[in-house]
Structure 1
């Protein structure tokens, strides 16, 4: 399932590219995002194994002096049995360490969407590109964050001055199933991937699960729009007459994050690095 940290990583990748600086890795962003949110998970992430982090990350995520004593107790565990609570924490850290390693290498088909938000709150699409081939999240999110920002041919490349107006959406795709009928799907639940033949040519396109609901379309309006997107120019009441219409449904809840939320986190990260 997509998370706000995934969106923050997309912002980190985009802004690092625009500002010509190194970007944090997905694991680093997830660790810092959790600690910034002040959750128990964040505290555990701060104590994850050193091999997952650079020296700079180790210093940033190091325990505060107030918690040093618990680390000292752990260091004497060879001669002093761990209490039930300490044993539980140790097990939790070990489990979390494994989950951090796994997250970076989990693979999903995915889409990254960039929108601009006007002062009045109106949302405009600014770029949306993804893939149906499973991608390791670290590489896939970074790659498609940049591709959708710079290479969506419907728009000019996103510029640094636009950053404060941006919103990022990440959708991880799951549950691909062939539809028994072009209408056998639910608005708001299913994304659609279609292919068909028209005038001897093969066409295809997709809409993510949230599109039809956001646009207020019926199922038929969604299919006609999707076929238009693919390049079909027939009469809208003749959409069923195309040859070999194939519809595949899939699922995936989109998670969004605005620039201001990312910038607040980034300021915290930079502030935590002061004096290092």
Structure 2
């Protein structure tokens, strides 16, 4: 799964590009984060019950806002059954993710950086399909609004893939103007590494909050490009959609203009599901780490 270091590296690559300097490498970011003083480690703490000798584990709340909302509602968290290793990729084509830019404010989100950070949240994964998402964050309500999101279903070496898509999503998402240096203090970056690609048995053979979906189908005698029809696992939960609403929205994104009650009548609907738990980091946390690195 994605880690804090992956997010820090994306911020480092973007800020270095805008500041006309050479960024640290992913390896350097990982090494420095392991040494960075973060206070208590982000791991389970065992407390003894007064009435029993058995320990009770207290876990930090999920850092990703979507995961927190899902866990609070009793759902399984995205990627909960994932081994953390890269799954089979899709067609290998790049894809813009339409995390709806009209997304409203989400005051229930927990501000990124409020939880204790650990240096042991590391993963041996070295390559994966991936997506990088940039959001603007309100300083008062902490609501998030999409600022750019681009990724690929083709397996990428992480150092090269994160660097490339951090810049693509920030500067080349055709739905938005390029991110500027002055916007950096208001940004948050989210990285999702995609795993466990599976062809669904039907259009509804996937689980909200667990799977992202990618669709392709025939309509009006032409094949719509599957790479243009993908939602990451957290999109439906963030928007409050049910599975049918998610699928219809994704079909609209792919270019379908039919009546919503006719969605099941399109030809040769193929749905691929995948998993991927996102990790997020805000500018303030990146800046604090970068200042510490600079002093060394």
- If asked which structure has higher relative contact order (CA below 8 Å, sep 6+), I would say 2
TM-score normalized by structure 1?
0.74
Partners of 2:173 and 2:23 in 1: CA distance? 22
| Secondary structure at 2:36 match in 1 | helix
> Do structure 1's residue 256 and structure 2's residue 280 form an aligned pair?
yes
Per-residue CA deviations over 1:11-62 (Å, capped at 9, x if unaligned) read 0000000000000000000111111145899xxxxxxxxxxxxxxxxxxxxx
Partners of 1:195 and 1:157 in 2: CA distance? 29
> Do structure 1's residue 117 and structure 2's residue 137 form an aligned pair?
yes
Aligned length: 212
In structure 2, the CA distance between the partners of 1:18 and 1:184, relative to structure 1 (3 Å rule), is same
Match of 1:197 among 211, 218, 226: 218
Alignment of 1:24-35 (within 5 A): 24-35=24-35
Partners of 1:176 and 1:39 in 2: CA distance? 37
Alignment of 1:28-177 (within 5 A): 28-37=28-37, 106-119=126-139, 120-177=141-198
| Secondary structure at 2:203 match in 1 | coil
What's the CA shift for 1:200? 1.6
Gaps of 5+ in 1: 42-98
Per-residue CA deviations over 1:122-165 (Å, capped at 9, x if unaligned) read 21000000000000000000000000001100000000000001
| Secondary structure at 1:186 match in 2 | coil
Gaps of 5+ in 2: 42-121
In structure 2, the CA distance between the partners of 1:9 and 1:197, relative to structure 1 (3 Å rule), is same
| Secondary structure at 1:217 match in 2 | coil
Partners of 2:223 and 2:34 in 1: CA distance? 46
Partners of 1:242 and 1:168 in 2: CA distance? 36
TM-score normalized by structure 2?
0.69
What's the CA shift for 1:201? 1.8
Following TM superposition, the consecutive aligned residue runs of length 4 or more in structure 1 with deviations greater than 4 angstroms are 38-41
Structure showing greater Rg: 1
> Do structure 1's residue 231 and structure 2's residue 227 form an aligned pair?
no
Tell me the equivalent position of 1:58: none
Q: Which one is further off, 196-205 or 249-258?
A: 196-205
Tell me the equivalent position of 1:209: 233
Partners of 1:181 and 1:213 in 2: CA distance? 20
Q: Could you say what the CA RMSD is over the residues aligned between the two structures, in angstroms? A: 1.7
Tell me the equivalent position of 1:23: 23
Partners of 1:23 and 1:118 in 2: CA distance? 27
